[in-house]
Every structure is written in C-alpha cells, then in structure tokens.
Amino acid sequence: MASKHRDVWAEEKVRKSHTRLVRRHRPNEITKRKAVYEVFCNPGLSHTDIASMFGISESSLSRYLKESFDVEFWGKSKRKPEKVEKRAQFANAEKELHNRFLCRRKVGYYVDGHWLRHQMRKVLTVFKPVGWKSFRYSNGWLYRFCKRYRISSQARTDQKAESDEYRLKQIIKCIEKYLKIQKSGPPVDSVFGRFSPDRHWHVDQVPIPFSYPRCRSLNTVNTPCKIKILLSSGMAKRQCSAHVTIRADGKQVVRTVIIFRGLGQTQSEDELRAWAKLKNVVVYFQRKAWCDSDFFHWYLLNVFNKDVRESGDHADQLLMLDNLGAHKTKRNRQLMKSLGIVPHFLALNCTDVAAPIDHHVGNLLKRLMKGFYEEDLEKFFHLWRGDGDDDRPSEFLNRIIRRKKMAGWLDLAWSELREKNVFFLKAFVSTGCLIGLNGENGIKMRGLDELLRASDDFKALNLM
C-alpha cells in the first residue's frame, strides 16, 4: 500500500483545521435544502467540503440526504406567518366616523376620545350592523381606530409667518443695539457695563381669559393642529390683561397692573374694597383691556418709576419693550428720558424667543392663576355652573364677581412667582437680554439656537 505524499497530508491537515474553525450552528429548513441541493448538483465534491461550506457536520449532511427522499422534507418551513392587519369590525361605520372627524377638525374644534366614542355610538345606531348592540367602546378600539387613520394627540400649532433667516437678522440687530447701550456710558458693572443685572427690566402684556380652553386635540399626523374656542359665552376670550414687569436680578419691586375692559364707571363698593386689599396688583380700566399710549404714560409715572424709586434705586434703568406703538410715541419717549429710563426695543416678531416674559414667565403666571381658578371651582361649584343640563355659567357669575376673582388670582399668582429670582435670571440670559461685554452668554433660543450660533454675523459679535 502506497503512502500518501506529504503535499496530500498537508492539504488534508489544512482542510481538517478549517473544518474545525467553521462556526457550528443549527441550520434552518432552507439551509438544509440548499446543502442537499448542492450535493445533487455537484457529485464531484466531497460531502466534507459541502458540509464545511454550510457550517454543518458531515454526519448531519448524511442525515439530511436520507430525509430528502421524503416528500415532506421539501415542504417543511419554519417561517413566521406574515402579520395580517386586523380589519375593523365595523369598517363602514368607522369610515363615516373618520369623515365626521375630518369635518370637525377642518372647522378647528378640538376632538378627544370622549367625542369619538359618542359619535361612534350615534353612527352605529344609524347603520345598525350585526352585533352593534354588544360593541364595547373600549380604549383598545380607540387606539386601533387612531392607528388605522393616523391620528394622534397634538398640541396647538403656533405658526409664524416669518422665516428663520428673517428672525435671525432681527435678533442679531437687537443684540448689537444692546451692546451699544451697555458701552454708551460709564461701566457700573465690570462684567455687563453701564447697566448691572438688577437694572435690567422687561415689561409686557399677558392676555388673561376667565376660563382656559384646551391646548391639545386629536389631529391627523403631519397636519397643523388648530384649535378654535368652542365657548359661545366669550369667557375664554381676553377678559383682561396683566401688565407684568420683571427684573433680571434682585427683588421684584414693581407691581403688576391688571387692565380690565371698560371705563370703570360701574365699580361697586365691594370692588373698591377688594382692590384696596391687593398687595401686588394695581387695577386699571381701558376700553379694549390693552396697553395704549395713555395707559403707558400713566404706568411710567405711577407704577414703574414710583416703585423703583421707593425701593431706593435712583440710578438710570434699562427698560426692554416690545415694538408696540404705544411705547414709541414722542410723548412717552420724552417722559422716559426725563425719568432716567433707557428704552431698548426687542427684535420685531421674535418675542416668543427673544423676550424674557414670553420665555416661560407669562405661561407660568397663567398656570398659577389656573390653579387658584380650579380651587375656586371646587369651593363654589354651585355658583360657577348652572342648575340645568348645559355647562353655561350661571347668572351669579356676573362681571363684578369675575373682576374680583381674577384680580385676586393674579395677586396670589404674582406673590408666588416673584420669589423665583433664579427663574427670572435664566429668562433674561436665555433670550439674549443679559450679555457680558467679555462675550460670556448663555443664549438658548428655542428652535433658533443652532442656527444663531452657526451664523457669521453672530460670530462677528465675539459672543461664542
């Protein structure tokens, strides 16, 4: 018997070592068929090479060859069955419900789960399909309906007509003006310049309704969520406005003014006594419950200048204002100059990201008022609601009671909010209304922060 050549032994050694290194695994039915098919198509190849090719042992391949003579071997499969979407039990009724949903959202009225269940019950009573009486309007059905028609819970969309590029230009111009003001006089503060943080002020109007409508609704995905106020009594509209003044650092000494709609000729003695008990709120009447030129003139003399001077600060003050026409009149500009008030107008149409009060301060004030509002609802539920089936306010909820309650809620809310000094400081820093002359800043404008820092004009200010 002739011995094997050393080259043959070397090839077998390499092949055996390769076979040991091949990953062993449990093959599926498709791999078994491929291995057997490879044996039939290539009779010249050894079973060992084919087994190593598919990562199986030679004995396993021999076993698969024996099983291949059975017809069932070629029909076996362990694939998972394809997932079939569950069809709605009452497809036609749900289609009608979706049409009603689209019609209601087109008008702008909000939709919630209770409304969908109520409308589905109405639709089924009209269609009357088989088994409709035993149908349960469960959360699972509501979830599947919203998933089938791509409906989700969304917050009200706040659309801006201006582009991001336009807003960036306005913000950069505003920052340039602010830096000029800080460098225009002798530096009182070594970091900020002419005006220290405790002499940075911002005043703005916060519209306040009596009731608070919903801000979320079920809405079709990838469509703007617009919510129209549904109350016909007008109590969700602006009942009054809060003229709020905040400072970046230090104690909040300037009182808040609540502007009621009207001329103030129908004030009762109870109202006057209630106004006198307010510690941090001043009452004012105006035809549209808004800030006009006369009101702003009165505010500068009787509220801002008076409260600041009584606190012991007689230096010049930096007052940040919106681009409201009442702020820019010649009469008010001359008054501010005579009182030592330097106005700084914020970026046009960018107050949602560049104004400290709009940066969560006004929203938090209204949320605190809403908490006191709900407490009163629980205490005086029989007064706030009629005795009938409708949800309209009762006759006890007249203008006098509404004015007294809203002024009291604002006084309590402002008393609680004015203690959050760090919160006000963050609002000024994040909106770019408090910047150090050495370039230190913590600007964090929502939605525009990355674009602002990537802008060449912003880099030229050396604020990075």
Cα(156)–Cα(97) distance, integer angstroms: 22
- Whether residue 305 is contained in a domain is answered as yes
Looking at the structure, tell me whether residues 223 and 100 fall in a common domain: no
* Own/partner long-range contacts of 267-271 (Cβ < 8 Å, ≥24 apart): 268/400, 270/400, 270/404, 271/400, 271/403, 271/404
Cα(375)–Cα(202) distance, integer angstroms: 30
Which residue range(s) make up the domain with 339? 164-459
Token pair 């030129």 in the structure block, residue: 293
End position of a domain, from candidates 99, 122, 149:
149
| Closest residue by Cα to residue 145 from 96, 106, 83, 214 | 96
- Give the pLDDT score at 257: 95
- Give the pLDDT score at 397: 64
Looking at the structure, tell me whether residues 100 and 68 fall in a common domain: no
The structural domain count of the chain equals 3
Looking at the structure, tell me whether residues 251 and 119 fall in a common domain: no
Fill in the DSSP letter of residue 304.
Answer: I
Looking at the structure, tell me whether residues 184 and 326 fall in a common domain: yes
Radius of gyration of the chain (CA): 37
- Give the pLDDT score at 230: 52
Looking at the structure, tell me whether residues 63 and 169 fall in a common domain: no
Q: For Cα atoms 112, 222, 352, give the angle at the middle one, nearest 5 degrees.
A: 85
Looking at the structure, tell me whether residues 345 and 416 fall in a common domain: yes
CATH of the domain at 426: 3.30.420.10
- Give the pLDDT score at 247: 94
- Whether residue 85 is contained in a domain is answered as no
- Whether residue 154 is contained in a domain is answered as no
Looking at the structure, tell me whether residues 138 and 249 fall in a common domain: no
Overall size of the chain counted in residues: 464
- Whether residue 438 is contained in a domain is answered as yes
Pairing mode, strands 281-286 and 256-261:
parallel
Contact status, residue 50 vs residue 72, Cβ threshold 8 Å? no
- Whether residue 240 is contained in a domain is answered as yes
Looking at the structure, tell me whether residues 372 and 425 fall in a common domain: yes
Q: Tens-of-pLDDT digits for all 464 residues of the chain? A: 444 555 665 666 566 555 554 445 577 888 888 888 888 877 777 888 888 878 788 888 888 888 887 767 776 555 554 444 456 788 899 999 999 999 988 888 888 898 999 999 999 999 999 989 999 899 999 999 999 999 998 887 765 556 777 888 888 888 889 989 988 888 888 888 899 999 999 999 888 776 555 678 899 988 888 887 654 444 455 778 899 999 999 999 999 999 998 888 878 888 889 899 999 999 999 988 889 999 999 999 999 999 999 999 899 999 999 888 899 999 999 999 999 999 999 988 888 888 999 888 888 888 888 888 777 766 655 444 444 444 444 445 677 888 888 899 899 999 999 988 888 999 998 888 888 887 667 788 776 766 777 777 666 665 54
CATH of the domain at 51: 1.10.10
Looking at the structure, tell me whether residues 125 and 234 fall in a common domain: no
